[in-house]
Amino acid sequence: MAAPEESLRRRKTGYSDPEPESLPAPGRDPAGSPAHLHAGTFWLTRIVLLKALAFVYFVAFLVAFHQNKQLIGDRGLLPCRVFLKNFQQYFQDKTSWEVFSYMPTILWLMDWSDMNSTLDLLALLGLGISSFVLITGCANVLLMAALWGLYMSLVNVGHVWYSFGWESQLLETGFLGIFLCPLWTLSRLPQHTPTSRIVLWGFRWLIFRIMLGAGLIKIRGDRCWRDLTCMDFHYETQPVPNPVAYYLHHSPWWFHRFETLSNHFIELLVPFFLFLGRRACIIHGVLQILFQAILIISGNLSFLNWLTMVPSLACFDDAALGFLFPSGPGSLKDRVLQMQSEIQGAWPKPRFGSVVRRAANFSLGVLLAWLSVPVVLNLLSSRQVMNTHFNSLHIVNTYGAFGSITKERTEVILQGTASPNASAPDAVWEDYEFKCKPGDPSRRPCLISPYHYRLDWLMWFAAFQTYEHNDWILHLAGKLLASDAEALSLLAHNPFAGRPPPRWVRGEHYRYKFSRPGGRHAAEGKWWVRKRIGAYFPPLSLEELRPYFRDRGWPLPQPL
């Protein structure tokens, strides 16, 4: 009778035998709530890294497609065919392989008779591949190596138009991106190719050098970084200001001091958070991305700041990035949870491909360490140089930005006149307007980041140099005298549209300052106040420039 009595007692107290426990559904904990990703794996990190890198590649190739023909094409301002021929002639006693190793570019293997089409082909291939990676979030070694090779081919023949630090930075970032991926497989979660810790630390080492290099070059450079006054000038004198820069420039003095101190904290101290464990590394990533976002808002610095965000993403593991991905059965997040469970249960048997990949990643680590030696010595040197590469592949480079700050803004304004006599007092000179750089004081500053107008950027440098240092500006003047359609496509306004070309073109030098909010000029709708300094180059006619063009091997402009 004991058993029936025990059963009756259980019924009276509401207790019943427990049912067999059911296994939790994938992606959920035993209580039925969504499970959390574990720290220490980087499957989702790879997807985010690839998408971010593909976005920057897409912008870079889009800029190339829109502007390469006008800048380095058959009839460009600095034709790359002339550059290649001069390079070939200079190294005529070298073998083809030696020439290629000095300046690696696919263009050595291609036809130069129609350089415009060739440049367009390279840019379109880059746009196609980067679009695929951006949309799908997956790539393999071949696709990422193709993007890297295509862009390196353009950078190495791009002359001064591609001479800035972000070009080498994109190539170094892209090189590391090759090792993120499996050799052949196209999958967002390639099960047998986990993200290599060596590659992740390659990205972290990159962002460490970028930020510390930028901080050190400032402290060692312009005195205004040490006395905290650089931000009094930066917004007004940066290469291509945007509308937000106008208002930031007029911030109180104490705010500018705070900005400068914050900049030193982010660039000189925060990079060391990378080596202080997972939480500090994540804090580093958050601070660097926020810092770059602020720079994007306050100026048009091409895709530089967007690109600098990419290696910062390597600070986050799957647990930190899980919020970016939807949950649910079959989702990427759910599949990563299952893969994490499998790894915790038992390590898979090593495959031949895995062994080869580990050897490749180890070799990458050794290569990065070896190539970092001159870079580290440069960082430690009191004569630090910035934005320099030590090898033709641009794999490990030095970086830095705004080591010195210009205290006043000067601009070169190109003007044309239809008057037969350039010296006549009644000659009417009309301004050409560029896409983005300051010109007409009443025109609102542009907002274009991450896009980039290469000519506008070079015009900023030309303004505090002379035209003898920038012979391309005379080439541009000759093309304006001929109303060259390709050259005019780089400008926003042609005052001679629908009319015969100008007879004379000249360069005028002006000093620009932001107008004061609430002041007389601002009330008149002017963002800028300008004052003429003098002539930048004298009035020139097309006939005067023809011998200059012939000496440099440039095609002679044909007037319309």
Q: Tokens standing for 399?
A: 């970086």
Closest to 206 measured CA to CA, from 285, 293, 294: 285
- Looking at residue 18, its pLDDT comes to 41
pLDDT digits (tens, 9 = 90+) for 152-195: 999 999 999 999 999 999 999 999 999 999 988 899 999 888 99
Q: How confident is the model at residue 349 (pLDDT cuts 50, 70, 90)?
A: low
274 and 369 inside one domain: yes
163 and 100, same domain (yes or no) = yes
Residues 469 and 386 in one domain: no
Confirm whether 10 is domain-assigned.
Answer: no
The upper half-sphere exposure of residue 269, i.e. CA atoms within 13 Å in the direction of its Cβ, equals: 8
**Over residues 226-233, mean pLDDT:** 96
> What Cα–Cα distance (Å) separates residue 357 from each residue in 1, 144, 149, 202?
70, 16, 21, 16
Cα–Cα nearest to 45, from 335, 324, 347, 361: 324
pLDDT band, residue 344 (cuts 50/70/90): low
β-strands 504-514, 409-417 pairing:
antiparallel
Phi then psi for residue 384, to 5 deg, are: -55, 135
**Tens-digit pLDDT profile for residues 97-149:** 888 888 999 999 998 999 999 999 999 999 999 999 999 999 999 999 999 99
Q: Over the stretch 517-542, which tens digit does the pLDDT of each residue have?
A: 999 999 999 999 999 999 999 999 99
Within a domain: 233: yes
Minimum mean pLDDT range among 11-15, 245-249, 353-357, 369-373: 11-15
Q: Give yes or no: residues 435 and 394 share one domain.
A: no
Alpha helices in 188-331 (DSSP H): 197-220, 223-226, 231-237, 243-249, 253-264, 278-298, 304-312, 318-321
Percent of the chain's residues with pLDDT above 70: 92
Looking at the structure, do residues 393 and 302 belong to the same domain, yes or no? yes
Both tokens of 40, joined, read 């220490």
Comparison of pLDDT for 8 and 321, the residue scoring more: 321
Mean pLDDT score, 197-202 = 96
**379 and 457 in a common domain:** no
The reply to whether 9 falls in a domain is no
Residue located via tokens 């296994």: 23
Burial category of 475 from C-beta neighbours within 10 Å (exposed 0-12, middle 13-18, buried 19 and up): buried
Q: How many CA atoms lie within 13 A of 247 on its CB side?
A: 5
Q: What percent of the chain has pLDDT over 90?
A: 77
| Residue 198: Cβ within 10 Å count | 18
In a domain, 29, yes or no: no
Domain contains 57: yes
Residue 156, domain member (yes or no): yes
Mean pLDDT of 294-303: 95
Q: Do 425 and 390 sit in the same domain of this protein?
A: no
Is 390 in the same domain as 241?
Answer: yes
Same domain membership, residue 381 and residue 427: no
Phi-psi region of 35 (alpha: psi -120 to 50; beta: other; left: phi over 0): beta
Q: Domain range for residue 117?
A: 43-343+352-398
Q: 413 and 394, same structural domain?
A: no
What pLDDT sits at residue 90? 87
Tens digits of residue pLDDT in 479-532: 999 999 999 999 999 999 999 999 999 999 999 999 999 999 999 999 999 999
Same-domain pairing of 377 and 473: no
Among 360, 378, 398, identify where a domain stops: 398
Q: Which of 54, 310, 133, 282 is nearest to 206 (CA)?
A: 310
Total tally of structural domains belonging to the chain: 2
- 311 in a structural domain: yes
Give 143-160 pLDDT, tens digit per residue.
Answer: 999 999 999 999 999 999
100 and 233 co-located in one domain: yes
CA–CA separation, 166 and 429 (whole Å): 37
pLDDT tens-place string over residues 408-451: 999 999 999 999 999 999 999 999 999 999 999 999 999 999 99
Q: How much is the pLDDT for 30?
A: 46
pLDDT at 3 over 50: no
pLDDT given at position 347:
57
Is 30 a member of any domain?
no
d(CA 308, CA 302): 11
Name 369's Cβ contacts closer than 8 Å, sequence gap at least 6: none
Closest CA to 552 of 64, 71, 68, 81: 81
Give, for 485, the enclosing helix (H) or strand (E).
helix 485-488
